[in-house]
Amino acid sequence: MKKGKTSKIQTNNFAKITYGTVNSVKLKSIYLNIQTWVEPTDEYENWNRVVLNMSRAIKHATLDSVNNNLFEEKFIVDLDLRSSGISLGKKSFMNLEINFYLIKDDMDFKSKEIKDSLKKIVNNIFDEVFYNNECFKFYLTKKGNPNNETLQIANLWYLLNKNIKHGFENIKTSWEW
């Protein structure tokens, strides 16, 4: 009898994002999984420190965006990025898994509340940690994108569009009396 379930979260083209549980019948915990390829932007003396700092930033971004009505405040962050294999010009596989513990016992795995809360966490991790990351470029596949588009370039377009939209909203409201 199979009890585990997984579901995809589609937010961008730079990472494979899924969430799941090992027991959907007695739902007590949910894991969030983000997989991507990273390429260093510069040479660093201590890659262990770079990876640890990124892990710490992910923990802070998660804590800032976790839904305390749905999940307990305690969670486990497991960033799997082998610092020994990181070198300039070479892509490395990164796997991030975050385990959350549910407060309510009667939640449905496919509920909109769970999915929306996880999307909020993912978006905050991308905003706070991955976008504008000075150490790494992020790619969906090892071969990268054919047009050399990286997460940072996509974020530049996102910010530009957001600022243009925000600017138009300000103009519109300034004309209203």
Q: What would the pLDDT profile of 28-77 be if each residue is shown by its tens digit?
A: 999 999 999 999 999 999 999 999 999 999 999 999 999 999 999 899 99
Q: Is the pLDDT of residue 114 over 90?
A: yes
- CA dihedral for 25, 29, 31, 32, sign (positive or negative): positive
Q: Categorize the per-residue pLDDT at 132 as very low, low, confident or very high, splitting at 50, 70 and 90.
A: confident
Mean pLDDT of the chain: 84
Please give the share of the chain, as a percent, with pLDDT higher than 70: 79
Q: Which two tokens stand for residue 165?
A: 């939209």
Which helix or strand (DSSP H or E) is residue 77 part of? strand 71-80
User: Is the model's pLDDT at 168 over the cut of 80?
Assistant: no
Residue 81 CA to residue 167 CA, distance in Å, equals: 39
The answer for residues whose C-beta is within 8 angstroms of residue 45's C-beta and 6 or more apart is: none
pLDDT at 177 over 90: no
Any idea what the Cα angle at residue 82 is, between residues 128 and 132, rounded to 5°? 25
Which strand (E) or helix (H) includes residue 98?
strand 92-102
φ/ψ of 139, rounded to 5, equals -135, 150
Q: How confident is the model at residue 20 (pLDDT cuts 50, 70, 90)?
A: very high
Annotated domain spans of the chain: 5-175
Rg (CA), the chain: 18
Q: What is the pLDDT of residue 176?
A: 36
